[in-house]
Amino acid sequence: MKTVQAITVTIPNELAAELNRLQKTEMKNCSSIVAEALKEYIEWRRFKGLQKEAAAVARAIGVYDEADVERIVHEYRAEK
């Protein structure tokens, strides 16, 4: 069973030129550079999704900025 899959993508010439430069300076092939970039993009998208969910929860409990966080921390510490 294959552990890799070949795909075809189209990118602007300027981006292709930058990819070729990276390939030479980092001594990596294009596939590994693109795979690494895609992994980072997927992680970023997951993070942004979690951030959006957390922001919704924070708003639901009245947290809108750092001052609200500090207030909640002080209230919590006062209870202890």
pLDDT at 18: 97
CB proximity list for 64: less than 8 A, separation 6 or greater: 58
Q: Decide if 43 is inside a domain.
A: yes
Per residue in 9-25, pLDDT (tens digit) is 999 999 999 999 999 99
Q: Which one, of 33, 6, 9, lies nearest residue 19 by Cα?
A: 33
Q: Decide if 41 is inside a domain.
A: yes
User: Rounded CA gap, 75 and 56, in Å?
Assistant: 21
Neighbours of 59 (CB within 10 A): 11
Q: Decide if 36 is inside a domain.
A: yes
pLDDT at 7: 92
Q: Decide if 3 is inside a domain.
A: no
pLDDT at 32: 95
pLDDT at 80: 77
Domain of 17 in residue numbering reads as 13-79
Mean pLDDT, the chain cut into blocks of 10 residues (80 residues total)? 90 97 95 96 98 94 91 89
Task: Please say whether the beta carbons of 68 and 62 come within 8 A.
Answer: yes
Q: Decide if 57 is inside a domain.
A: yes
Whether the pTM exceeds 0.75: the reply is no
Total of domains in the chain: 1
